[in-house]
Chains A and B, each alone.
Chain A
Amino acid sequence: MAEHFRGELPRLLRILAAPAGFLPLGPALTLAVRRFARRKPAVFDRLGDYGKCSFLIEPSDLDISFLMVPDGTRAEVKCLRRRAGQTADVTVRGPLLVLLGLLDGTFDGDALFFNRAIAVSGRTDALVALRNAIEDAELTPADFVGATGGLGKLVDRSVIGGLGLARRFTGSPIPGEPS
């Protein structure tokens, strides 16, 4: 039986999100990570050799998953059909909104894992390294789309506000509260 987590997207939104599987998300995310690596190389230095590890990110409420090798300017992100049977050094599984919250620091990864809001498997050392690098990166939504200045601030404000609303709507764990 499939594992279910608190804070998953409602069924209607999942259906609406289904065509995302046909978009060139992989190349777009690859470009975004590489662009970020050029702007903030220290984040990837922090990962050291763990940058060559593969991380499979599986939103439990979507039918796609992401395979990422965060190797700085040689980083690679692939968008996969969930049932592709892909293996990786580390697998992280949880609701999309919670996974996004891990990236921008809304949630503490340790707390989410220990409270079972997400599930992880594979190499714990690689996961710890990635978690610490993300913690220091102070990522914002604008970093993902490469927006800077006033436009960057606008992107951050709208995306963070939108995600906050969506989390409340889906019943995601509240940051800072035991879930």
Chain B
Amino acid sequence: MGRIAILDRIEHEHEHENRDAEYEKKQHRSESHVLLQRNPAMVMPASRESFQGGVFHASIPGGRSGATLSIARGELIADTISEPSLRFSIPLNQCQIDLGGASNRMVFCRTKEGDLTIFCEEKNFAKELDFQSGGMLAGPLKQLKKGLAADANRFRFWLTLSAVACALLLFVGYFGVLWTAKIAIRALPVSVDEKIGTMAFSGMEMGRKLEANHPASRLVQEIVDKLKPHASIPELKFKVTVVEDKDINAFALPGGQIVVFTGLIKEAKSAEQIAGVLAHEMSHATLRHGIERVSQSLGIVAAIQIMVGDVGGLVALGAQVAQTSILTSYSRAAETEADLEGARMLNAAKIDPKAMADFFEMLKEKMGDLPDAMAWISTHPQHETRVQSIQNHQKKLPVVQYEPLQLDLKAAQDAL
């Protein structure tokens, strides 16, 4: 290295007029400026651009100032914005380069001693600095950028990982609550089913309800009475209502409310067929499909209501769900379950479960000429496989001597 230049600060004319005490003090120190080396061989063109940046130096009041930066003759020059304006410079070949700051784009140029720092985060500053230094600073800058990029990637990785972990926790939590709710619903007393059923029933719009002593009502009631002792929930009170409606339909509400349409009684070929449908519907009630359906439809809402012990709210919402969705259909698994449980009940009541399969067969045949009346079949599809599965299931049931029902279906049909 050649010549030593003193370049630390250049005072502007007007500053001599308004000096404060501190400035005076600094002035004395300025005799022993920071000595900076300059390579005389390196003569570079002055940069046409200037940049907005800043300086850290002990001689500035407060230790820092915003500054206008320029690069000329191989030096980085900073003129402070604050009054009085001070000039600082660092030869580019002395510049200890660093990258960082809040934006991660700030370029720092420090003296070896670290007492003077000039910084800037303007976009073209790094490029200009590199160009003016003859490519000297490109290597270290690239290295620093690489380091920051790796750090940013690491951060992004952790951020993504945490986000995924949170999502997973939420997911597990959600289904955990649903699963707990399902168990909790099963643990609820059947009286909740009954309340839901009664409320849903009273809010439903239906045709005229037949009197309890109507022959059709009495027929249906007698069948239910015969099946009732074999229900899997003995305390369930089954209540049957016959409603005037030409549709071939019957449904069960939670808690044992069963509705049979006159259309179904009219089309039945035997009392046993009606018994088949009733056994199926009663099974929906004993297997608690209604409340299961309610918990599925209400999902997290039902779960929360159960957890806070708001059974009343659950009943009200459940009744609404029962009115709208139970009539449409249960799940395929629930239907199969009701078929098999119904067959078991029939068998135990000494009624041939074949009647249930017969009824399905009859409905299938009717489908062609009575498309409007097929309400029940529309909510109970896949009858072919059902007939098959009922017949298979019947073989596993205990062998009993079937007794034909001593009921006058003809009289009941004539009374309609």
**Is chain B a partner of chain A in the same complex?**
no
Residues of chain B touching chain A, judged by Cβ–Cβ distance below 8 Å, are none
Residues of chain A touching chain B, judged by Cβ–Cβ distance below 8 Å, are none
